[in-house]
Structure 1
Amino acid sequence: MSDVTTTVRQYLAVWNETDPHRRRARIADLFDPAATYTDPLGEATGHDAIDGFIGGAQARFAGMAFTLPAPPDAHHHLARFHWHLTVADATEPVAVGFDVVELADGRITKVHGFLDKLPA
């Protein structure tokens, strides 16, 4: 489980990385080159598209950070985890969701995102 927890923390670190060059390097390290990302707001395939999707989310939610409120649950090549999108000093997260990631050889091949709470 510790490897999965590390992978999930690295995944959230990608979403929190605002430097485009460092974010792109993290994506290259963590995601398979043909990885896919899908959630209700969009989908992306490959490093360039995933990077663009994350950059767009960061522009929309500038100054906010993704956190892991509880350890991930994993079996076989799958992991699921809840995340919170937070603002410093806020008592409630701005957004809440959970993702399911598929893994192969320690890298993310697919992300299936679900949104439980979005800002108005």
Structure 2
Amino acid sequence: MTFEVIAAPPPPASPCWRCEQPPHETRAATHVLAKRRSLHITDTTTNPAHPTKPPHPANAVERYVEFWNAAAPEDQQRLAAQTFAAGVSSRTPVAVMRGVEELVAFRGQFAQHFPDYRFQAREVPETHHERARLRWEIVVGGTTFATGTDVLHLDDAGRITEVTGFLDQPPEGFGHHDHD
């Protein structure tokens, strides 16, 4: 999916999420719309009151999708370093992983079994504060293999510290109880 940034109504008058002060311009009001099936998000966030405001969570979602689709090992390593915090953890019905290397290894094992797979967003990811929810699908050979939802937690640098994954439509023959 490609996302186009367009103006949105101003946010409601509530305290600033970073400093708890009365409302002020914390960022340019933006809204993303899905246009195509390749993910590209442009972050136009500005914050004159907080020049060290963390990156927008949507950027982490974009890097996350790119990581799962990176074919070359050097691209996987580069994207992993940009996307995940060193102590990242991932909890899904398939596996519990700790650390960047375990995620890279899992991604590599999956790609060995399904070399022509594509990991993609099913809809516009939802983000707020340091969280993102990505509804995804994995397509293998032109057919949906599985769908799921990943909830991502980010650090102040915009790197993913935790992934909690759910299978919305598991692969055929997969039982949730087999992997608790």
TM-score by length of 2: 0.61
The gaps in structure 1 that reach 5 residues or longer are none
Which of residues 96, 117, 142 is equivalent to 1:64?
Answer: 117
Which of residues 50, 53, 74 is equivalent to 2:103?
Answer: 50
The question of whether the paired residues in 2 share the 8 Å contact of 1:69 and 1:83 is answered with yes
**Counterparts of 1:84-103 in structure 2 under 5 Å?**
84-87=137-140, 90=142, 92-103=143-154
Q: Does 1:114 align with 2:166?
A: yes
SS of the residue corresponding to residue 51 of structure 1 reads: helix
Q: In structure 2, what is the Cα distance between the partners aligned to 1:87 and 1:61? A: 7
- The one-letter code of the counterpart of 1:40 is P
Task: Note the aligned Cα RMSD (angstroms).
Answer: 1.6
Question: Which structure shows the higher helix fraction?
Answer: 1
The gaps in structure 2 that reach 5 residues or longer are 1-30, 32-42, 44-55, 173-180
Q: Which runs of 4+ in 1 moved over 4 A?
A: none
| Deviation larger for 39-48 or 53-62 | 53-62
Counterpart in the other structure of 2:36 = none
Q: Does 1:40 align with 2:93?
A: yes
Question: Which structure shows the higher strand fraction?
Answer: 1
Q: Does 1:16 align with 2:69?
A: yes
- The one-letter code of the counterpart of 1:69 is R
Following superposition, the deviation at residue 74 of structure 1 comes to 1.7
Which structure has more RCO (C-alpha within 8 Å, separation ≥ 6)? 1
Q: How many residue pairs align between the two structures? A: 118
SS of the residue corresponding to residue 40 of structure 1 reads: coil
Following superposition, the deviation at residue 118 of structure 1 comes to 2.6
Identity rate, percent = 31
Radius of gyration: which is bigger?
Answer: 2
Q: In structure 2, what is the Cα distance between the partners aligned to 1:115 and 1:60? A: 19
Q: In structure 2, what is the Cα distance between the partners aligned to 1:15 and 1:104? A: 20
